[in-house]
Chain A
Amino acid sequence: MDNEVKLHGFWPSPFVYRVIWALKLKGIEYDYIEEDLANKSELLLRYNPVYEKVPVLVHAGKPISESLVILEYIEEVWPHNPLLPKDPYERSVARFWINFATDKGRSAVRSLFWGGGDGKKEAAEQMFDLLKIIEEQALGDKKFFGGNSINMVDLIFAWFACWIQPMEQLVGIKVLEPSRLPSLHAWVKNFKEEPIIKENLPDPERLLAYYTRLTSNLVSKPT
């Protein structure tokens, strides 16, 4: 039991994937437990009583919840193949962009994909403005947000690499257009081609089917 690592997850979740990628990039062995969110396990409810959500990382029997908290924990316990810069100022910049993606990204996604019909075009433009800031100020002319290699910021922005496409198809609006966001578009390609990432990506068709089901089942916004 001593140093066993377990991850409770749900296959379509980008939050779970962040943790999977972090563990794999650092070569950490772990057991994966797929949770049915419509029928959560006793273990999950015990490990995350506050939110009852995935991902939950369990290390040596002790649970950690919230993907960003988990990533910082992984980084501290297994510092090899670092996912954050060593310099405190550079770390604060990385955390700033992680917070930006989480904070602004979440509300932008909500407006665009769960909002009413007429507001969608406006929401798409707002999402574009956000992505433009990310492209110009966070990415710049780097290959990855982490520079020459992937770091935690890339893992957080990965939502735009894989999860935006099924959403774009559902809504019928292309947000991540190559001509309007060339560097970000190139980043998506580079990110998905990185060996460890490539081997650990959700199936796009399965993802589309999942989100199609989700949106058709909804009468109002999800909680």
Chain B
Amino acid sequence: MEETGGVKLLGFWVSPFAQRVKWALKLKGIQYEYTEEDIYNKSPLVSKLNPVYGKVPVLVHNGKPISESIIILEYIDEVWKQAPLLPQDPYERAQARFWAKFAEEKVRQSVWEAVCSSGEEKQKAVKSAVEAFEEFEKELKRRGTKFFGGETIGFVDIVAGCISYQLAVHEEVGSIKILDSSKFPAISEWIKNFLNHPLINEGLPQKDQMFAYFSKRSKEIASRKMSHKTA
């Protein structure tokens, strides 16, 4: 834990947040040691390294911990200059940060909310998710490039990337349909290109395992919501 220069990542196999960090490290060719944390039975290490949230991912570099996936990505990009994730130009960097925030808050979150809710709430969440996808589609079309980052994968691609391998599973678990490929051709093409990259596709969790996990998790969240309502 104290060795200088060592890079360690604490993660959880199905966490889209941990996956973002893995992708960034792999794309930059950074050697790291991975530790799987059972988030339902956390080791004391997680509380020690992330006392405020007690969550993964946590990146440990030179013995110092960094948490929150997007903050970790910024750190990685600042320390290791090869294969840059953010553009060089400040205005383009601002656009990348804006769309990364959008991808996290409006795209990823709204899909998960739709999965975990029911009735009117679910309908509202699906509507929000579709609207978010429409904005994302518009922006991808406007850029006209293979990835958000241009011809190579960048910051926004990595943050939004979880939808490439988890959206279909979420749709199945939540009995919802968001990504109609005829309605979202640019996003569908982007997903194809993204998953085609060997470093992106490598080691992704199995579909059936994700289905089992998200089914269980969404039911837990849904029942918690119900008990809050009736309490």
Q: Are B78 and A88 in contact, with the CB atoms below 8 A?
A: yes
Q: Are A89 and B52 in contact, with the CB atoms below 8 A?
A: no
Interfacial residues of chain B within 60-95, with CB under 8 A of chain A in the complex: 61-62, 64, 66-68, 70-72, 74-75, 78-79, 90-91, 93-95
- Does A70 make an interface contact (CB < 8 A)? yes
The 0/1 profile, CB within 8 Å of A marked 1, for residues 98-125 of chain B is 1001100000000000000000000000
Q: Are B75 and A92 in contact, with the CB atoms below 8 A?
A: yes
Q: Are A88 and B75 in contact, with the CB atoms below 8 A?
A: yes
Question: Given contacts A65-B98, A76-B93, is CB(A96)–CB(B78) below 8 Å?
Answer: no
A70, B66: Cα distance in complex, Å: 23
Interface residues on B, range: 20 to 34
Question: Given contacts A69-B101, A96-B71, is CB(A76)–CB(B79) below 8 Å?
Answer: no
- Does B135 make an interface contact (CB < 8 A)? yes
Question: Given contacts A50-B135, A64-B98, A72-B97, is CB(A89)–CB(B66) below 8 Å?
Answer: yes
A69, A77, A91, A92, most chain B CB atoms within 10 A: A92
Q: Are A95 and B74 in contact, with the CB atoms below 8 A?
A: yes
Among B74, B94, B135, contact of A69 (Cβ-Cβ < 8 Å)? B94
Can you name the residue of chain A whose Cβ is closest to the Cβ of B62?
A89
Residues of A within 8 A of B135 (CB): 50
The 0/1 profile, CB within 8 Å of B marked 1, for residues 127-145 of chain A is 0000001000100000000
A45, B51: Cα distance in complex, Å: 41
Residues of B within 8 A of A69 (CB): 94, 97-98, 101
Residues of B within 8 A of A100 (CB): 52
Q: Are A72 and B94 in contact, with the CB atoms below 8 A?
A: yes
Interfacial residues of chain A within 61-83, with CB under 8 A of chain B in the complex: 62, 64-66, 68-70, 72-73, 76-77
Among B51, B71, B72, B75, contact of A137 (Cβ-Cβ < 8 Å)? B51
Residues of B within 8 A of A169 (CB): none
Residues of B within 8 A of A66 (CB): 97-98, 101
Can you name the residue of chain A whose Cβ is closest to the Cβ of B64?
A89
Interfacial residues of chain A within 105-150, with CB under 8 A of chain B in the complex: 133, 137
Residues of A within 8 A of B61 (CB): 89
A62, A76, A89, A91, most chain B CB atoms within 10 A: A89
Q: Are B91 and A62 in contact, with the CB atoms below 8 A?
A: yes
The 0/1 profile, CB within 8 Å of A marked 1, for residues 154-183 of chain B is 000000000000000000000000000000
A100, B51: Cα distance in complex, Å: 13
- Does A41 make an interface contact (CB < 8 A)? no
- Which B residues fall within an 8 A CB radius of A? 51-52, 61-62, 64, 66-68, 70-72, 74-75, 78-79, 90-91, 93-95, 97-98, 101-102, 135
Q: List 11 A-B contacts (CB under 8 A).
A: A50-B102, A50-B135, A66-B101, A88-B78, A89-B75, A91-B75, A91-B78, A95-B68, A95-B74, A96-B67, A99-B70
Other A-B contacts than A59-B91, A64-B95, A68-B97, 12 sampled, CB-CB below 8 A, are A50-B102, A64-B91, A64-B98, A66-B97, A69-B97, A89-B62, A89-B66, A92-B72, A92-B74, A95-B68, A96-B52, A99-B68
Q: Which 4 A-B pairs have the closest CB atoms?
A: A73-B94, A88-B78, A76-B90, A92-B75
